[in-house]
Amino acid sequence: MFFSKEKPSSKRILDVGWVIDPVPAGILWDAPSVLKYPMRKEASAKAVQSCPAVLQNEVRLLEVPCPIDAQISIKRDMNGRWMFNNDLGKDSPIAVEKLDDMLVLMPVDHWRHPDRPVIQIHTPYRFVVDETCVFTQLPPIRDYKGDRWPGLLIGGRFPLQDWPRRMMWAFEWYDTSKPLILKRGEPWFYIRFDAFNPERPIRMVEAEYTDELRDYCRQVDAVTNYVSQTFSLFSKAKARRPKQLLVRKKR
């Protein structure tokens, strides 16, 4: 669906830009990076780290690190309404009111299951490209969370070239008797970028938040508040898109 009317690029490398929306404490949000994990020498030619299928998958993934340390629980109040609690209280590195600003509890009728609350955390990340590219957000499948995540990250996939939307971190809470524990610097979610040719290498670059990009983002932001099928707006967004949105930041 995303590639049906597009022509492949002749460029060898796919440049993908990342920007941070102007937000308070923006320095907390680090750049996406290649997966970080120690690689020990293979004990045999059949070792997991020698498997070409595993390598082909992981080499195309990038990780976005968690910006905060927090321990959050969710429970019903006396009226049966779900509410958050900052379990660390006065010892929490993040102020209670700031955590409340970040967290969003989705309405019950938006959940996939009536007993699994869905929460979101707003992020200031945007990704931008100037050619056909499909963006995929994934759970950090290479990072073992144990009991720290009592549920599942909800990923997504969309055509990035016409939709540089602000990213969300969405979590479906399966076991509400357990807290959600977030660790600053740990992998928070993975991202993947795919062009026509799946063999093309990806080059992540920090992008300028130009006036053209800012104006275009205003047009695609928050449309979910007005329509239920945002994919129906892709063709209209494409028609209004400036020719160039990705401008590499100069340091």
Given pLDDT bands bounded at 50, 70 and 90, which one contains residue 39?
low
Closest CA to 136 of 177, 195, 181: 195
Lowest mean pLDDT among 38-47, 117-126, 179-188: 38-47
Mean pLDDT of 200-204: 91
Q: Which helix H or strand E contains 97, and what residues bound it? A: helix 96-102
Q: 219: phi > 0 → left, psi -120 to 50 → alpha, else beta; which? A: alpha
* Whole-structure pTM value: 0.89
| Average pLDDT of the chain, as a whole number | 89
CATH node for 14-240 = 2.70.40.10
pLDDT at 110 over 90: yes
Mean pLDDT of 140-165: 93
pLDDT at 95 over 80: yes
Percentage of the chain surpassing pLDDT 70? 90
- Residue predicted with more confidence, 96 or 129: 129
Classified as helix, coil or strand, 113 is coil
Given pLDDT bands bounded at 50, 70 and 90, which one contains residue 2?
low
pLDDT at 9 over 80: no
- The 10s digit of each residue's pLDDT in 14-26 is 999 999 998 888 8
Structure tokens at 247: 């401008």
Instruction: Quote the pLDDT of residue 235.
Output: 82
Classified as helix, coil or strand, 49 is helix
Classified as helix, coil or strand, 95 is coil
- Residue predicted with more confidence, 101 or 151: 151
Mean pLDDT of 131-138: 94
Mean pLDDT of 186-196: 94
Closest CA to 28 of 72, 71, 65, 70: 65
pLDDT at 12 over 60: yes
- The 10s digit of each residue's pLDDT in 213-232 is 999 988 888 777 666 667 77
Q: Are strands 151-154 and 61-65 parallel, antiparallel or unpaired?
A: unpaired
Biggest alpha carbon distance in the chain?
61
Instruction: Quote the pLDDT of residue 7.
Output: 65
Q: Which helix H or strand E contains 120, and what residues bound it? A: strand 118-122
Q: What does the domain layout of the chain look like in residue ranges? A: 14-240
